[in-house]
Amino acid sequence: MVCEGWKEKLDTYLDGEVLEQEMREFDAHVRNCPSCAADALGRVQMKRAIQVAGKRFTPSAEFRQRMQQRMAARPKRSLNFGWMLAAAAAVVLAAGALTTSYMGVRSGRELAANQELANRDHVLSEIADLHVETLASSSPVDVVSTDRHTVKPWFQGKIPFAFNLPELPNTGFTLLGGRMTYLDQAPGAHLIYDIRKHHISVFVFQERALSSKLKLSDEAASSNRLPFNTETWSQNGLRYFVIGDASAADIENLAKLFKASS
């Protein structure tokens, strides 16, 4: 076939992805080869056509405004506040250094407890974000069903582990559906339940897939810094989170149902 070697790389050449020396050779060849020149012209026209046709959609003014408002509404730390924080941090560090020199090294247990608190707040705020984002979405669940025998198999092949869903008759809870989710790039299951018009999220992840900063002890059950009630525990290698604006008793009851079914 004529110019087989050249044509094989024609798209790469037109994308500007061949080496400089090769590019010069291509230029020279295309100038002298009508067949390759015609082919190159056609492909360039196609590239331009896709470029024009691809710029097809523009966001609505309403959506743009909504996004701009969201970005503008983010809490911003002022410079002064930043300096205050830095100054406060310096004072704390200095005080810490003095205390350390006076009292000696703090006990490992205390440090571990502080780390645990920081981990707990971090993880639970991530979980709260996932919960809120999902409920705010126009399509919060990907599998819509109140039947656990429909929802559970839906996750087959989508997440690398299996889990059990509790039976719910006479409990007041209704399963609304589920979706895939990610925490720290680890895939997991997100289930949504309803009780008295309150939506509760249950997240299930593989414990070993979560990075060390996301690992919690079972004592880290709840956070009083969130506007939600939460429960978390580890069972059979899986980490469960239950979160919602329902009462603490409801959250606890749903957690108990999950613990009993696993």
Partner 1 sequence: MFYYVDVSGADLKPDSFEELAMPLFDQLFNFARWMTQNREEAEDLVQETYTKALKGFSSFQLGTNFRAWMYRILRNTFLTSRTGLKVTMTVPLDTEEGGPELAIESDTPETLMFERSNREMLQGAMDELPVNFREILLLCEVEEMSYQEIAETLSVPIGTVMSRLSRARRALRDRLRAPFQKSGTAGIAKGTVVQGSNHGL
Among 22, 27, 28, 67, binds partner 1 (CB under 8 A): 67
Q: Which two tokens stand for residue 138?
A: 């126009």
Residue 73, interface with partner 1 (CB under 8 A)? no
Site for partner 1 in 217-246 (CB under 8 A): none
Q: How many angstroms separate the CA atoms of 239 and 167, rounded?
A: 20
Residue 42, interface with partner 1 (CB under 8 A)? yes
Say how many residues touch partner 1, by CB under 8 A. Answer: 52
Among 99, 114, 115, 137, binds partner 1 (CB under 8 A): 137
Least separation in angstroms between residue 216's CB and partner 1 is 19
Among 22, 23, 65, 68, binds partner 1 (CB under 8 A): 68
Q: Which two tokens stand for residue 162?
A: 């299996």
Q: How many angstroms separate the CA atoms of 249 and 237, rounded?
A: 25
Give the CB-side neighbour count of residue 160, counting CA atoms within 13 A: 9
When the beta carbons of 154 and 173 are compared against partner 1, the nearer one is: 154
198: left (phi over 0), alpha (psi -120 to 50) or beta: beta
DSSP 25-81: HHHHHHHH-HHHHHHHHHHHHHHHHHHHHH------HHHHHHHHHHHHTS----HHH
Residue 139, interface with partner 1 (CB under 8 A)? yes
Residue 211, interface with partner 1 (CB under 8 A)? no
Residue 138, interface with partner 1 (CB under 8 A)? yes
When the beta carbons of 44 and 92 are compared against partner 1, the nearer one is: 44
The three-class DSSP label of residue 178 is strand
240 to 141, 201, 210: CA distances (angstroms):
18, 10, 12
Site string for partner 1, 150-189 (x = CB under 8 A): --------x--------------------xxxx----x--
Site for partner 1 in 75-104 (CB under 8 A): 76-77
Q: Applying CB under 8 A, which part among 51-59, 92-100, 165-173, 248-256 lies near partner 1?
A: 51-59
Among 20, 31, 32, 54, binds partner 1 (CB under 8 A): 54
Structural element, H or E, at residue 249: helix 248-261
Least separation in angstroms between residue 19's CB and partner 1 is 13
The footprint of partner 1 (CB under 8 A) covers: 1, 4, 7-8, 10-12, 15-17, 35, 38-39, 42-43, 45-60, 63-64, 67-68, 70-71, 74, 76-77, 129, 133, 137-139, 142, 158, 179-182, 187
